[in-house]
Amino acid sequence: MKEYFKVSTKTIVATGLGAAIFMLLFMYVKVPSPVPETSFQTAYGLSGFFATLFGPIAGALISFIGHALSDAVQYGSPWWSWVIASGVSGFIFGFAFKRTNVEEGEFKGKDILTYNIIQIIGNVVAWIIVAPVLDILIYQEPASLVFTQGATAAIMNIISAGVFGTLLLVAYSATRTKKGSLSKK
Amino acid sequence: MKLFSYNTVDTPIHCLSGFTKLLCFLLLTFAVMYSYDIRVVLLIMIFSIAILKVSRIQFSQIRTMVIYALIFIVTNAIISFFFSPEMGVEIYGTRHRIIKLVGNIYLTQEQLLYQVTKFFKYASVIPLGMIFLLTTNPSEFASSLNGVGIPYKASFAVALTLRYFPDIQRDYRDISLAQQARGLDLSHKAKFKDRFKNSLLTVIPLIFSTLDRIELISNAMDLRGFAKYKKRTWYTSKKLDRQDFTAIGISALIFIGSLCVSLFINHSRFYNPFI
Amino acid sequence: MNKQAIIEFDHFSFQYYSQSEPTLHDINLKIYPGEKILIIGPSGSGKSTLGHCINGLIPFAYKGEITGTLMIDDQNTKDLNIFELSKMVGTVLQDSDGQFVGLTAGEDIAFALENDNIPHDTMHERVRRVAQMVDMQDLLSSSPFELSGGQKQRTSLAGVMIDDVDILLFDEPLANLDPATGKTAIEIIDDIHRTSQKTIIIIEHRLEDVLHREIDRVIMLNDGRIVADMDAHTLVCSNLLKENGIREPLYITAMKYAGAKVSCDMLPGYISTLKTATCNEALCTWHNAIHEKTPINDKSSILKMDQVSFSYDGVRPVLQDICFDIREGEMVSLIGKNGAGKSTLSKLLCGFEKEDQGIIRYRGEDIKDKTIKERAEIIGLVMQNPNQMISKSLIYDEVALGLRLRNIPEEQIKPRIEKVLKVCGLSPFIEWPISALSYGQKKRVTIASILVLDPKILILDEPTAGQDFRHYSEIMEFLVELNKLGVTIILITHDMHLMLEYTPRAIVLAEGRLIADTTASFVLTDAQVIADANLKETSLFNLAHMAGIEDGTAFVQGFIDYERKLKNR
Ligand SMILES: Nc1ncnc2c1ncn2[C@@H]1O[C@H](COP(=O)(O)OP(=O)(O)OP(=O)(O)O)[C@@H](O)[C@H]1O
Ligand SMILES: Nc1ncnc2c1ncn2[C@@H]1O[C@H](COP(=O)(O)OP(=O)(O)OP(=O)(O)O)[C@@H](O)[C@H]1O
Ligand SMILES: [Mg+2]
Ligand SMILES: [Mg+2]
């Protein structure tokens, strides 16, 4: 478990650059949804991917920093409750770290299932519990509104992390090499 | 392409250290976020607009942000009314009807106060954020995060994000152009669904080349001794001077004032003129 | 030399985790304090691997199996961690952009001190002092976007020197630098060596450029083994360079063409020490015997720029008043210093950016209103970085992408792809995932994916950067074949050898202006153009002077013609 939360230089760099791509996706590669103030964000597919490769700390920070900075750039100030929820979702996605064989070059049936169960738990906790509760605690928003928004966000982020994240993981596993597998012809 | 259009202007706000600005930003934001007292909120709003003036930020610099933020707040106001027109009544415990809208939805004085307060609450945070973003040198940002108690590794991750975001944005554009040159249609002529799918085709090579880059950068950082000790110093940190202490003092007073109003005068986060 | 080695490899081997065989075999090497060493060898021979062993990235970042010992400063590296090693060895990696981690030059230089908890004031003082050594003191608050490639390189240099290490290791410091900046980099390294007596290790493909200043020993690797360890004079006299696929200095090639025997007593390792007295006659005779005129291309114009100007931000002009005319079937080089606007020019041609003023004509017709997609039917651009172009995981799909997007039926696609993969020498890999390819092969995949679209004009941005001589020759010979088939080719390059050898004509940019459009041999002999465009005189020109040949330009041209005849082109 200790290894899970170990922060190496690589984790930090992955966090910094991951957050930069997260911002880019968050601002430019999204589809608006019918429920106001929510949209289909490909960025959560990215955070699922990075969290699986680099662990919960990287996952949490990527989504937190990426979301906070893009809010700041677009609106002048972050919407803290959702920024925190983003961080929580990334953190939970990180539990897929070392639970799949993606680094060994295999990401098939069971691995896909593991990753998706974790990402669904992460999204549900973050968007149906954390985000609305914080909205109510911090901003005193009406409960019915925030739970509706939360549920919509959960569904869309599950799709994003599920489809886009899985796609990235499969593509990544194809680039991994096994021990002693490379030889000259 | 810079992330924030920070530029050096000689104003008292620009001269403050990044640490001071971050701390003041946090204190003031918490002050407005906590209080649901329209008087406190308006005072802070006036204060923050005054600071915006002092820091000589041009409207052109913040126009897009203002538009986005306004759209956000207005939508929020409308939908939260329709989702819970009785929220004000619940909070303040009384019902003063003003006008009947549709069905049995009434506009009440309580709802109006709740929503107006909320409107200004959100609106007053935004100038604070803009001042912070536009007057803080990005280089000082990481050291000030570390200064307010964020672990230095996390602070450095933020510095890396600021450093590499423009690179990544440029790469994204280049990749997208290269794809278009091979026939990928990203223009407005293409169907929305295709456009979305095609923009994903651009993102994938971007992500994979970034993974290579992560390896390179982390090697370079290891070779220069990153994370050797539990602490690190910062080239860009500044010593605090009298102005910094004054600014922190003022913000702290506002923060404590806002808390005191809630605790001792209103006895709740809400200011209730109805009883 | 001092008896006590500072770096000592003893029967050292290394095998990467994913490899089935060792990458380094039984290395025995001693390097003494204050020595300046050059490591050369073909691509994939293990040069960087050797460097990683010295600076500790192996085994810290790259896992694998080590046998034998490596002692640095009398300590076994097995017992050291990367932080302890970083106190002894400073490394400048190849990609100066990648290791530029600070938001400004000053921060980047200070990075190692920050990690060492040096107090703020001492840190600023030391940064200022080191910045002065590399002449960066006025640019400390510039961001990486505002710095040229050379300035970034200086920053990285300052960043490792600040730590006061004993050993400096440079992995391909010259890749991506323009010739003059590369020359300056070699001079700075040499000055540091002279004044500080540090041990210096340089890994580089560009042998002749490194030999601009003196080197104590050259070590040659091939296939993970040391195949030569000698001084520069002995090395260039031997056949080792040719045998191991490394380009010998041009002046040596010229002397060999002239039938002169190159021997160690001529001190041929450096052009500055070379004594040509014994072969002057041979050179003159050889020179006078060549009379061949470069054929004049009188085909009609295919691409013409007419007073084109462009700026990214509307304030600072990047290109001003560019006029040139390229004829059908030509092969042209576009050269100039870092940041001169070469890549920008290629983007204008492809419609990635729109010119502010002026007209671009294709066969006389203004192409202003053509979209990126329409222009792509005429002009194909192979970008500098292959990773920016590859979006599929299989070679076949990658090459097919453009055709599929044009809705060409699958049964027509297949033969076209097979043909183009064959031309690019990629047929054996048709089923391979792209991730299993080397950098040079990836580059060829991107070329194939553009070629399959049958462009009339092909623009290649730095096609040979970081490639060894063999791959370099492969790519270039292949481009010559294409050119023979009638494709007009524009090469953007910093490699002056390439320009001389393959393109009769060169267009030179400096500060966004076109300063020369003439024969390649003339460009590299004209002092004014060389100075304005950050180029470097070719050593052939110096050789001509030493041999007492008046017209250096004619000598260079003669060399090119002779070589072309040899290769039967
Ligand atoms: N991380 C790695 N994992 C597995 N194999 C590797 C790794 N890095 C390098 N290799 C292999 O080791 C061999 C030597 O690589 P190295 O990078 O040392 O070559 P080089 O001489 O520096 O070449 P170049 O001139 O192209 O930089 C190559 O065959 C390469 O495929
Ligand atoms: N997307 C961009 N936005 C703003 N400025 C840019 C952009 N791309 C390049 N520039 C600037 O335009 C100038 C010319 O850049 P360009 O990339 O064309 O140079 P180059 O001749 O290709 O250099 P190199 O040899 O280093 O590749 C540089 O000063 C660069 O900083
Ligand atoms: Mg190498
Ligand atoms: Mg370029």
Residue C488 covered by a domain: yes
- Chain B segment 220-259 residues within 8 A of C by beta carbon are 220-229, 231-237, 239
CB C512 within 8 A of CB C341: yes
C279 and C382 belong to one structural domain: no
Phi-psi region for residue C456, left (φ > 0), alpha (ψ -120 to 50) or beta? alpha
Q: Does one domain contain both C539 and C482?
A: yes
Query: What confidence tens digit (pLDDT) does each residue in C475-511 have?
Result: 888 888 889 888 999 999 988 888 888 898 999 999 8
Q: How far is the CA of C60 from the centre of ligand 3 (A)?
A: 18
Q: How many domains are contained in chain C? A: 3
Strand bridging mode C7-16 / C24-31: antiparallel
**C48 in contact with ligand 1, CB cutoff 6 A:** yes
- Verify that C189 and C327 share a domain, yes or no: no
Q: Beta strands C357-362 and C365-366: pairing type?
A: antiparallel
pLDDT tens string C144-200: 888 877 788 888 888 988 888 899 999 888 877 788 888 888 998 998 899 888 999
pTM of the predicted protein model:
0.89
Tens-place pLDDT, residues C186-234? 998 998 899 888 999 999 888 999 999 999 999 999 989 999 999 999 9
Ligand closest in space to the Cα of C244: 1
ipTM: 0.88
Provide mean pLDDT across the span A25-31. Answer: 88
- Residues counted in chain B: 275
Asked, for residue B270, whether it belongs to a domain, the answer is yes
C283's CB contacts (< 8 A; 6+ apart) are C254, C255, C258, C260, C276, C543, C544, C547, C549
Shared-domain flag, residues B3 and B121: yes
The pLDDT of residue C296 = 67
* Interval C57-67: pLDDT, tens: 988 888 899 99
Are B104 and B9 contained in the same domain? yes
Q: Supply the DSSP symbol for B209.
A: H
Lookup result for tokens 């760099």 = A13
Q: Considering chain A, what percentage of its residues have pLDDT values greater than 70? A: 94
Q: Do B214 and B245 belong to one domain? A: no
Q: State whether C240 and C368 are in the same domain.
A: no
Predicted local distance difference test score (pLDDT) of residue C281: 86
pLDDT 10s digits, A42-58 = 999 999 999 999 999 99
Residue C142 in tokens: 């510039």
User: What is the percent of chain C with per-residue pLDDT over 70, rounded to a whole number?
Assistant: 97
Q: How far apart are CA C378 and CA C361, in angstroms?
A: 12
Per the structure, how many domains does chain A have?
A: 1
Residue A87 lies inside a defined structural domain of this protein = yes
User: Domain range for residue A49?
Assistant: 2-28+40-174
**Cα four-point dihedral sign C186, C190, C196, C201:** positive
Q: Are residues C152 and C273 in the same domain?
A: no
In-domain check, residue C296: no
We report the CATH number of the domain holding residue C159 as 3.40.50.300
- From the CA of C46, how far away is ligand 1's center (Å)? 6
Per-residue pLDDT reduced to its tens digit, C494-504: 888 888 888 98
- Say which CATH number the domain at A136 has: 1.10.1760.20
C275 and C309 both lie in a single domain: no
Best mutation site among C146, C308, C343, C462 for ligand 2, i.e. most ligand atoms within 8 A of its Cβ?
C343
Task: Answer yes or no: is B143 within a domain.
Answer: no
Distance from CA of A84 to the nearest CA of B (A): 15
CA C339 / ligand 2 centre spacing (Å):
5
Q: In this structure, are C241 and C374 located in the same domain?
A: no
**Please, are residues A11 and B221 in contact by the beta-carbon 8 Å criterion?**
no
- pLDDT at C2 exceeding the cut of 60: no
Average pLDDT over residues B82-108: 87
Least CB–CB distance from A16: residue in B62, B157, B208 = B157
| Structural domain of C262 | 253-289
Report the C-alpha dihedral over residues C493, C498, C499, C502, rounded to 10 degrees: -130
Minimal-distance CA residue to ligand 2 atom 27: C338
Same domain? For C330 and C381 the reply is yes
C322 and C396 in a common domain: yes
Q: Which residue of C has its CA nearest to A175?
A: C435
Bond before C59 cis per omega within 30 degrees: yes
Structural domain harbouring B194: 149-235
- Residue B5 and residue B88 in one domain: yes
Do residues B85 and B153 both lie within one domain? no
Using CB atoms, pick whichever of B36, B154, B214 lies closest to residue A10.
B214
Give pLDDT, residue B1: 45
Find the C50 Cα to ligand 1 centroid distance in Å: 10
* From B3-12, B209-218, C368-377, the region with the lowest mean pLDDT: B3-12
Residue A131 maps to a domain: yes
Of A33, A165, C403, nearest in space to B203 by CA: A165
Interface chains of chain C (3 or more CB pairs under 8 Å): A, B
The pLDDT tens digits for C254-309 are 999 988 888 888 899 999 999 888 888 888 888 888 776 666 667 788 999 999 99
CA B30 to each of CA B36, B78, B142, B191: distance values in angstroms, whole numbers, following the listed order: 12, 25, 21, 45
Average pLDDT over residues C3-11: 90
Tell me, yes or no, whether C2 lies in a domain: no
Interface partners of A (3+ CB pairs, < 8 Å)?
Answer: B, C
pLDDT over 80 (residue C423):
no
C141 with C203, same domain?
Answer: yes
Shared-domain flag, residues B91 and B119: yes
Verify that C273 and C240 share a domain, yes or no: no
Residue B187 pLDDT grade (very low, low, confident, very high; cuts 50, 70, 90): low
Subunit contact B179:C93, Cβ cutoff 8 A = no
Does ligand 1 have an atom closer than 6 angstroms to the CB of C62?
A: yes
Interatomic CA distance for residues A47 and A62, integer angstroms = 7
> CB of B194 within 8 Å of any CB in chain C?
no
C381 to B212: CB separation less than 8 angstroms, yes or no = no
Most confident of A59-73, B81-95, B223-237: A59-73
pLDDT surpassing 90 at residue B256:
yes
Please indicate whether, in this complex, the C-beta atoms of A171 and C19 are within 8 angstroms of each other.
Answer: no
Which residues of chain B neighbour C102 with C-beta distances below 8 Å?
139, 163, 235
C224 CA closest ligand 1 atom index: 14
B231 with B243, same domain: the answer is no
DSSP string, C280-315: HHHHHHHHHH---PPPPP-PPEEEEEEEEEEESSSS
Condensed to tens digits (0 to 9), the pLDDT of residues A95-126 reads: 999 999 888 888 988 999 999 999 999 999 99
Q: What is the pLDDT of residue B199?
A: 79
Q: Is residue B256 part of a domain?
A: yes
Q: What is the pLDDT of residue A124?
A: 97
Judge if C484 and C369 occupy the same domain.
yes
CA–CA dist C365, C384 (Å, integer) = 28
Per-residue pLDDT averaged across C30-47, rounded? Answer: 91
Q: Is the CB of C441 under 6 A from ligand 1?
A: no
Question: Given pLDDT bands bounded at 50, 70 and 90, which one contains residue C466?
Answer: low
DSSP string for C189-235 = HHHHHHHH--EEEEE-S-HHHHTTS--SEEEEEETTEEEEEE-HHHH
Nearest residue by C-alpha to atom 30 in ligand 1:
C44
CA distance A79 to A134: 11
Nearest ligand 2 atom, CA C340: 21
Q: Is residue A55 part of a domain?
A: yes
Q: What is the pLDDT of residue B4?
A: 60
Number of domains chain B contains: 2
Lowest-confidence range among B30-39, C335-344, C430-439, C458-467?
A: C430-439
